[in-house]
Amino acid sequence: MTTYPVNMDIKPSVQAFFDEATNTISYIVKDPSSNACAIVDSVMDIDYAAGRITYDHADALIREIETQGLKLEWIIETHVHADHLSAAPYIQQRLGGKIGIGSKILVVQDTFGKVFNEGTEFQRDGSQFDRLFEDGDTYTIGNMQAFAMYTPGHTPACMVHVMGDAAFVGDTLFMPDGGSARADFPGGDAGVLYDSIQKVLALPDEMRLFMCHDYGPDGRDIQWETTVGEEKAHNIHVGGGKTKEEFVKFRTERDAQLDMPKLIIPSLQVNMRAGEIPTDKDGKPMLKVPVNGL
């Protein structure tokens, strides 16, 4: 098993930006000892019915970074999201920074390249991204060392990013009363997700955990921050020592009842390209709908 370079003494400041349209939380994470920062999981706004793209949510992040005079070094994607579109290239154009995702993006690109019947111009080698992370890979944000943990199960390319005492869990976990994300997308696997969650729960109890999504179960206010200790004790799907068998049975039955996310068709096409909108043969931005293909 990989040993990870955990350093709880570094405490980055974390600013959250909640997107109401998709229940996604984007983050600006700042190195405490410099002006460097990273963005985790940005959102591009889409009115899918109208085929209209806008950038209000991304502009709020950009404004905040400019107001504070920060230097954006990384634009991290925890995975290829199926429920919202990434604004990574839009942000990169304005502020710079490298776009990074897990190296298993190649698997995702191969799977959905077929689903969307992409031609050879769609590269399945991850070259749309600036950095492909392997399990345990480190990188720096200013003076702060960060690392990526391979956590498949929800999708094959999922990674949790740890920056000092803050971990960005993507869709491995939800808040304790929200449980876990579905594991039934192509390449997903409930048993593999359980094992990945155990890796997250093996981090120090005081590690701050930041969610990618929250849906406010039972009408509670939206929340996005918890700790490893809280999840271990109280997570309704995996806390209190639930076994892998219990989890897989529950997750599989639950996933069979879930509808596809409303934005899965545009999200996959855009996010497997690192947030670039595909174009047709004349170079016009265009999205496809594969009929009975998902």
What is the chain's length?
A: 294
Q: By C-beta, is 19 or 73 nearer to Fe ion?
A: 19
In angstroms, rounded to a whole number, what is the distance separating the alpha carbons of residues 147 and 138? 4
Minimum Å gap between C-beta 81 and Fe ion is: 5
Q: By C-beta, is 12 or 179 nearer to Fe ion?
A: 179
Minimum Å gap between C-beta 82 and Fe ion is: 5
Report if residue 189 touches Fe ion, rule: CB under 5 A.
no
Minimum Å gap between C-beta 284 and Fe ion is: 28
In angstroms, rounded to a whole number, what is the distance separating the alpha carbons of residues 25 and 41? 7
Minimum Å gap between C-beta 229 and Fe ion is: 24
- Nearest CA to 178 out of 149, 148, 241, 221 is that of 221
x-or-dash string of contact with Fe ion, 58-87, rule CB under 5 A: -----------------------x------
x-or-dash string of contact with Fe ion, 220-259, rule CB under 5 A: ----------------------------------------
- Stretch binding Fe ion (CB under 5 A), from 16-24, 92-100, 164-172, 196-204: 164-172
Q: Identify residues 88-117 at the interface with Fe ion (CB under 5 A).
A: none
Q: By C-beta, is 81 or 232 nearer to Fe ion?
A: 81
Minimum Å gap between C-beta 171 and Fe ion is: 4
Minimum Å gap between C-beta 46 and Fe ion is: 16
In angstroms, rounded to a whole number, what is the distance separating the alpha carbons of residues 4 and 7? 9
- Nearest CA to 268 out of 31, 79, 131 is that of 79
In angstroms, rounded to a whole number, what is the distance separating the alpha carbons of residues 88 and 100? 10
- Stretch binding Fe ion (CB under 5 A), from 64-72, 143-151, 169-177, 280-288: 169-177
Which tokens in the block code for residue 161? 């990013």
CA 191 from centroid of its chain's CA atoms: 20
Minimum Å gap between C-beta 108 and Fe ion is: 11
In angstroms, rounded to a whole number, what is the distance separating the alpha carbons of residues 196 and 205? 16
Q: By C-beta, is 136 or 261 nearer to Fe ion?
A: 261
Name the E strands within 151-207: 159-163, 166-168
- Nearest CA to 78 out of 14, 197, 162, 195 is that of 162
Q: Which residues pair with 227 in a beta bridge?
A: 208
- Nearest CA to 41 out of 169, 147, 156 is that of 169
Minimum Å gap between C-beta 32 and Fe ion is: 29
Q: By C-beta, is 171 or 231 nearer to Fe ion?
A: 171
In angstroms, rounded to a whole number, what is the distance separating the alpha carbons of residues 271 and 216? 25
- Stretch binding Fe ion (CB under 5 A), from 12-20, 35-43, 44-52, 168-176: 168-176
Q: Among 45, 165, 171, 189, indicate the residue that binds Fe ion (CB under 5 A).
A: 171
Which tokens in the block code for residue 13? 């400041």
Return the number of other C-beta atoms located less than 10 Å from residue 94's C-beta. 16
Binding site for Fe ion (CB under 5 A): 81, 171
